[in-house]
Amino acid sequence: MGNTEIGILVIAGVCTLVLVIGILKKRAQILLNFAVRAAVCLILSYFLDTFLASRGIPVSVGLNLISLLTFGTLGFYGMAALYGILFLGLL
């Protein structure tokens, strides 16, 4: 192999490494955003369930896998949607 071919392979390897690091960084950011949204919404949901129960309103979003996935994916809007569905059941 000549120096030109080795140089091309090194440049291609560095470019591939940069792309892989970029993809992993983006995935880590997506997972971190999901975890933060899920944690914040779970905490808010717990306190909102407690508040509504103390007021005698029979609406409670369970803290389970489905609500966790909804909270993590949609954030506050997912929490509002789950509570909205339950409030519609009261009508």
**42: Cβ contacts below 8 Å, ≥ 6 apart:** 63, 67, 68, 71
pLDDT in tens, 27-70: 778 888 899 999 999 999 999 999 999 999 888 888 888 888 89
Q: Tokens representing 45?
A: 């949901």
| Length of the chain (residues) | 91
Distance of CA 2 to the CA centre of its chain: 49
pTM beyond 0.75, yes or no? no
pLDDT band at 10 (very low <50, low <70, confident <90, very high): confident
pLDDT band at 2 (very low <50, low <70, confident <90, very high): low
Higher pLDDT, 16 or 78: 78
